[in-house]
Amino acid sequence: MNQQIGTDEAEKIIREYADMIFRIALHNVKNAADAEDIFQEVCIALITKNPPVENKEYLRRWLIRVTINKCNSFHRLFWQKNTESIEEHTELESPHQKEVMEELWQLPKNDRNIIYLYYYESYTIAEIAEILKKNPNTVSSVLQRARKKLRKILLEGGYNNA
């Protein structure tokens, strides 16, 4: 049985992974307020589920998986709409960046998660398959398709990060 995570240690872990959890949640629920709620739930899960924390990479993947699971079980009813803009929680410098983010959000949720884990967290296809509990071939084909869409949004859409 794992040793109970102490408050200080939990705090350290939460601070270290706060941005990562929030980014994944935001990619999924597309709403900053809900993403914050999910972040809080993941924090609570950390101390109630008590995962092993000695292996940093294991912990990181555990947090990613729990965050995605929380997002998947997050039920937004049809009349709940985005009521807060991403501007409240980002330092996106240009309106174009915001537009790009909003276009990225139009991609299927699964694609968004795979894009994020591949391009931002630099996981391999095999690692992503393990994290998301999917067949590596599935991840590979989704990534190929998602790359095309990402290229269209970022390159053909005229995004200029110069």
Q: Which amino acid is at 48?
A: T
Residues 117-156 that bind another protein (CB under 8 A): 119-120, 147, 150-151, 154-155
Between CA 115 and CA 146 the distance in angstroms is 7
Between CA 100 and CA 89 the distance in angstroms is 16
CB of 6 to another protein, least distance (A): 11
Residue from the set 1, 15, 133, 144 that interacts with another protein by CB under 8 A: 15
Task: Please work out, in degrees rounded to the nearest 5, the angle formed at the alpha carbon of residue 70 by the alpha carbons of 67 and 75.
Answer: 145
Task: Please work out, in degrees rounded to the nearest 5, the angle formed at the alpha carbon of residue 142 by the alpha carbons of 137 and 146.
Answer: 150
Between CA 139 and CA 44 the distance in angstroms is 30
Residue from the set 54, 57, 75, 95 that interacts with another protein by CB under 8 A: 75
**Contacts with another protein, residue ranges (CB under 8 A):** 7, 10-11, 14-15, 18-19, 21-23, 26, 33, 36-37, 39-41, 43-48, 69-70, 73-75, 77, 79-81, 83-84, 86, 89-93, 97, 100-101, 104, 115-116, 119-120, 147, 150-151, 154-155, 159, 161
